Amino acid sequence: MEEDKEVNALSGIFDIKQFFRKLLKLWWLLLLCLAIGFSYAYYKNQFIQTYYDASSLISIKDNTNPLFTSNQSLTFNWGGTTDKVTTIITQFKSRSHAEQVVDDLQYYVEYIKEGDYYNVDAYKQTPFFVYVDTSQAQLYGKELRITVLDQDTFELSTTFTDATAPGYDYGGKEKVTLKVPVGEWSEQFKFGDPVALDFLHIDVQRREETIPVGGEWLIKFSDYWATVNTYKAISVRPTDDGSSILKLTLSGRNKQRLIDYINRSSEVLVRQELERKNKFAVSTIIYIDSSLASEADRLKKSENALENFRGNSQLIDASTQSTDFNNKLTDYEIQKRDLNNRLNYLNNLESYLRSKTDYTNIQAPSTVGISSGSISQYVGQLVQLSAERKRREFSMREDAPIFQDLDRRIDAVKDVLYENIESNKDLLQDELQSLSREINRLESQIRRLPKEQQELLKIQRQVDITQQSFDLFKAKRAEAELVKAANVSDIYIIDEAKDTGSGGTSRDGTINYLIALLIGVTIPITVAFVFTMLDNFIHSPKDLEKISPVPLIGVIGRIDHPNNLVAYEKPRSAVAEAFRGLRSSLHFMYSTPAIQGTRTIMVTSSVSGEGKTFTSINLATIFAISGKRTVLVGLDLRKPKIFDDFNVKNKVGVSNFLVNDASIDEITMSTEIENLDVILSGPTPPNPSELIMSDNMVTMIEKLKERYDYVILDTPPVGLVADAMEIAHYADATLYVVRQGYTRKGMLDIVNEKYVRKEFKNVSLLFNFFKDQASYGYGYGYGYGYGYGAYGNGYHEQYKSKNKAVRLLHRLRKIVPLSRKRNS
C-alpha cells in the first residue's frame, strides 16, 4: 500500500518537460501574439497625447487695515491663518467658484483642430475667438465647422438629421430644444458681426491681423456641469506643512487654457475676498449716504427758510446776548440729536439682532459716534463669527459640529451685546433728560425776547444744527471710504501661472510595447500550461515511471506500413529491431520451468487500439524467425483482428474448440512465415467469458504447450472485460501495452492495483507507437534493451516516410535542431 500511495503522489507532479515541449510546439502562437500585440501597441502609441502642467503661487495673510482703531472699526479679522488657508483651499475647489471662472472664460466652448489620429484642443491657437451670448440658448454637443474664406469672411457649416436638436441655455444653466434646418447647412458671416440664428448666438472676433485663408477649425458647445466638474479637480496644496503659501496646479492638454484658468481663478478669489472684507465698510457707507441725503435735504430747507425770513423781515442780526443764548442752545440741540442717533442705533441694533440671522450687514457703531469699546468690540466679533459661518457653508454640511459651536459663540456674543445695549441706553436716557432740562432753561430765557427775534434765532439754530450734522456725516463718509480704500485682500498672488517654454509630458510609448511583449509571451505560456494540466495522456517512458510501479520492458517505435507484419516484411527496420530487443528481455522474466519448457506470453492493454494485436503478431514473428516453434492465439473472442493480416477467413478458431466443435488440428493454421502457426478467434460466441473459464480452455493451452516452444496469447483489454484476468493464469509472462498519446494515465490504475496485489504474473509494460525520440529528449539504453531496437542508431535500414508533410517537418528540424539528450 505504501508503494501505491507513492505512485499516486508521483502522478500528480506537474510535468515540466512536457510543458516546455508543448510550449515549443506553440512557437507559431507566440509569433502571432507578438505580431498582434506589437501592431496594437504601435496603433495605441499614435494616440498618446502630451499633457502640460501649469502652476502659480499665492500667499494667505491676515492683512489688517492700517487705519483700524477701536472706535472706528470698519473691518475685522477672519480668524487664524491656518483656518483661513483651509477655507481658501475649499473655495478654490468648490463648485460655485469653478462656475464663476468657467462663466468668465466661457470654457464650455471647445476649439478643435482635426488631427490624423485625434483632435487637438486648439484654445487660443485659432485666429479667432468665439464670444457667446449667454442670454440665448446655443446648439449643444454638435460640432460646427468654421472655414476662413478671406480676411473678413468665414463660413459656418454642419449637418442636421432632424428638425430639432439639443440646445443649452448657459445663462439659465438648463437644456432646451432648438429648431434647426434639416440636412447639410452652411452660411457665411463677417468677423465681428453677431451671428444670430435660431440655434446659435455668438460673435466671432479675429485674434490676428492676418488670418490663413482656407483654414478649418471646429467649435462645439460642451456640457456645462461636466466642464465645471473638470476644473474642480484643481490641485491646491501648501508648499510646506502649516505654510500659508499655496501652490495651484492644473494638468491638461492645452497649456494656455490651464494658465488662463489658474490666473482667472486667483483673480476671482482675490476680488471676492476683498469684497467680503469690505462688506462691513460698504454697508456703513450705504447707511451714511442715506443719512447724508436726508441731512442735505433738511439743510436746504433750513437755509431756504432763513433766506425767506430775512427777506420778509427788517431784522437782520440778533443781539449779542441772544446770540450767545442761541449758540448754547444750538450746542445742546446738536448734543441731543447725537444722543438720539446713538439711542436709535442701539434700538435698531437690538431689533436687528432679534429678527435677523445674518449679521454681516451691521453698520459700524462709530458711524453714529458710539465710542463704547465694548459695543464696537462685540459687534466686530459678531460680524466675524457670522462671516466665518457663511464661509464654512461652502464645504460643510449644516449639521456639522462646527456650526453648533459657532451658533453657541454667536448666541453668547449676542447676550453680552444685549446687556451692553441696555446699559448704554440707560446712560443715554439719563444724558438726554439732563440735556433736556438745560434746553428748557435756555428756551425760557429766549422766550423773553421779541417774537421776531425768537423766530430768527430758531431758524438760525436749525440751520446750524443741520449744517453741523451734515458736516459730521460727510466726515464719517470720508473716514469710511478711507478705511475701505486701505483694505487689501488677504490673498496675494506671488507668481502668476505663465508659459515659460517648458515642454509637456506624455506617457512613455515603450510601456505599450512592454505590455504587448508580456501579453504575447503570456498567452502561449498560459495555453501550454493549460494543455499540460489538462493533458492526461502518456507521452514518454518517463511518464510511466511516475505513474506506475510496473517495470518497463521495452519501447516500440512507430512505422508507416500497410499491415502489422512489420518484423517479417521489414526485418531491418527499427521496429523489427525493437521486437528483437523485447525477445531478449523476456528471457529474464521466466521462471526455471518456463525456461526449460514452453513459454506462454499474454499480451493485453487497458482499452482497444493500443496495439495488442500489432505486438502479438510481431513478437510471434520474431520468435518464429529465430527458429522457435511459435503459435499466435487470438483470444479476443469479442473483437477478432488477426485474420486480416494473414489474409485468412475467421471461420473456425478458439471459440469452435471451446464448444467442442473442432479439434486443435482443425483450428490451427500455418502461415507463410516459417515456424509460425495461427489460431484465430473464430465466430463470436454469446458467452466468451464462460468459454474462457471452461475446462476446454485448460485443455487447449496444455495441448499447445506440447506442440510449440512459444505460445503468444492476444487477449481482450483488461480495462473493458474480465477475460484477460482469467487468461493470465495460463501465462508465464504478461506484456501490458501502453500507446503513446493514446493511453490515459488513469487507465493504468487497474494494472497498478493488480500488480501491487500480485494478481498478474511477471507483468511488464511495453511502450508502443513511440514517435520521434529527439523531440522528447530521451536517450537509448533505458530498461531491457529499450531504445536500441527502437532506433537502431545506424544498425538497421532507414525507411523514408511517404508523407511529404512529415519529410518537410524532418528537414525543418535539421535546420532548427532541438535539444537532444545523448545516450546515457
Q: Taking a C-beta distance cutoff of 8 angstroms, is the pair 9, 547 a contact?
A: no
Interacting residues of 753 by C-beta distance below 8 A, sequence separation 6+: 4
- Report how far apart, in Å, the C-alpha atoms of 246 and of each of 86, 338, 593 are: 10, 48, 104
The low-confidence residues of the chain, meaning pLDDT below 70, are 1-13, 62-83, 280, 306, 309-326, 361, 363, 366-369, 371-373, 391-399, 443, 445-457, 461, 483-487, 507, 590-596, 719-722, 772-824
- Report how far apart, in Å, the C-alpha atoms of 214 and of each of 156, 170, 217, 619 are: 13, 31, 10, 91
What integer pLDDT is reported at residue 803 of this predicted model?
53
pLDDT digits (tens, 9 = 90+) for 668-684: 999 999 999 999 999 98
Domain membership of residue 173 (yes or no) is: yes
| Burial class of residue 217, CB neighbours in 10 A (0-12, 13-18, 19+) | buried
Backbone φ and ψ of 203, nearest 5°: -130, 115
pLDDT digits (tens, 9 = 90+) for 460-469: 767 777 777 7
Residues 661 and 203: their CA atoms lie apart, in Å, by 115
- Looking at the fold, whether 225 and 342 belong to one and the same domain comes out as no
Q: What is the DSSP letter of 367?
A: G
Domain membership of residue 283 (yes or no) is: no
Domain membership of residue 285 (yes or no) is: no
Q: What's the predicted TM-score (pTM) here?
A: 0.52
- Looking at the fold, whether 437 and 516 belong to one and the same domain comes out as no
Pairing, β 153-160 against β 144-148 = antiparallel
Q: What is the DSSP letter of 240?
A: S
Q: Taking a C-beta distance cutoff of 8 angstroms, is the pair 376, 366 a contact?
A: yes
Q: Where among 222, 242, 277 does a domain terminate?
A: 277
What integer pLDDT is reported at residue 819 of this predicted model?
38
- Chain mean position to CA 395: 28
What integer pLDDT is reported at residue 667 of this predicted model?
92
- Looking at the fold, whether 68 and 84 belong to one and the same domain comes out as yes
Q: Taking a C-beta distance cutoff of 8 angstroms, is the pair 236, 246 a contact?
A: yes
Domain membership of residue 498 (yes or no) is: no
- Looking at the fold, whether 236 and 256 belong to one and the same domain comes out as yes
Q: Where among 228, 245, 277 does a domain terminate?
A: 277
- Looking at the fold, whether 545 and 477 belong to one and the same domain comes out as no
What integer pLDDT is reported at residue 807 of this predicted model?
56
Q: Taking a C-beta distance cutoff of 8 angstroms, is the pair 491, 60 a contact?
A: yes
Q: Taking a C-beta distance cutoff of 8 angstroms, is the pair 542, 17 a contact?
A: yes
- Looking at the fold, whether 165 and 96 belong to one and the same domain comes out as yes
Q: What is the DSSP letter of 744?
A: B
- Looking at the fold, whether 695 and 633 belong to one and the same domain comes out as yes
Q: Taking a C-beta distance cutoff of 8 angstroms, is the pair 570, 560 a contact?
A: no
Q: Which amino acid is at 483?
A: V
Residue at grid coordinates 458711524: 367
Nearest to 62 by CA among 84, 87, 90, 88: 84
Nearest to 216 by CA among 109, 113, 122, 110: 113
- Looking at the fold, whether 753 and 604 belong to one and the same domain comes out as yes
Residue at grid coordinates 447724508: 292
- Looking at the fold, whether 784 and 738 belong to one and the same domain comes out as yes
Sequence-ordered alpha helix ranges (H) in 246-278:
255-277
Beta bridge partners of 765: 552, 736
Supply the range of the domain harboring residue 105: 52-277
Handedness of CA 735, 740, 745, 747 (dihedral sign): negative
Q: Where among 468, 500, 534 does a domain terminate?
A: 534
Domain membership of residue 599 (yes or no) is: yes
Sequence-ordered alpha helix ranges (H) in 587-694:
592-596, 612-625, 642-645, 654-658, 664-667, 688-692
Q: Taking a C-beta distance cutoff of 8 angstroms, is the pair 679, 654 a contact?
A: yes
Residues 610 and 613: their CA atoms lie apart, in Å, by 9
Q: What is the DSSP letter of 757?
A: T
Give the number of domains in the chain: 4
- Looking at the fold, whether 65 and 44 belong to one and the same domain comes out as no
- Chain mean position to CA 753: 55
What integer pLDDT is reported at residue 310 of this predicted model?
63
What integer pLDDT is reported at residue 83 of this predicted model?
67
- Report how far apart, in Å, the C-alpha atoms of 235 and of each of 112, 224, 248, 273 are: 26, 21, 6, 20
Q: Which amino acid is at 595?
A: I
Residues 160 and 144: their CA atoms lie apart, in Å, by 11
Domain membership of residue 504 (yes or no) is: no
As a residue count, the chain comes to: 824
Residues 531 and 18: their CA atoms lie apart, in Å, by 10
What integer pLDDT is reported at residue 69 of this predicted model?
45
pLDDT digits (tens, 9 = 90+) for 16-72: 877 888 889 899 999 999 999 999 888 888 777 788 889 999 988 765 544 444 434
What integer pLDDT is reported at residue 394 of this predicted model?
57
Q: Three-class SS of residue 809?
A: helix
Domain membership of residue 503 (yes or no) is: no
Domain membership of residue 287 (yes or no) is: no
- Chain mean position to CA 230: 18
Written as one string, the DSSP assignment of 176-224 is EEEE--SEEEEEEEETTSEEE-SS-EEEEEE-SSS--TT-EEEEEE--H
- Looking at the fold, whether 523 and 593 belong to one and the same domain comes out as no
Q: Taking a C-beta distance cutoff of 8 angstroms, is the pair 383, 280 a contact?
A: yes
Residues 178 and 163: their CA atoms lie apart, in Å, by 9
- Looking at the fold, whether 553 and 628 belong to one and the same domain comes out as yes
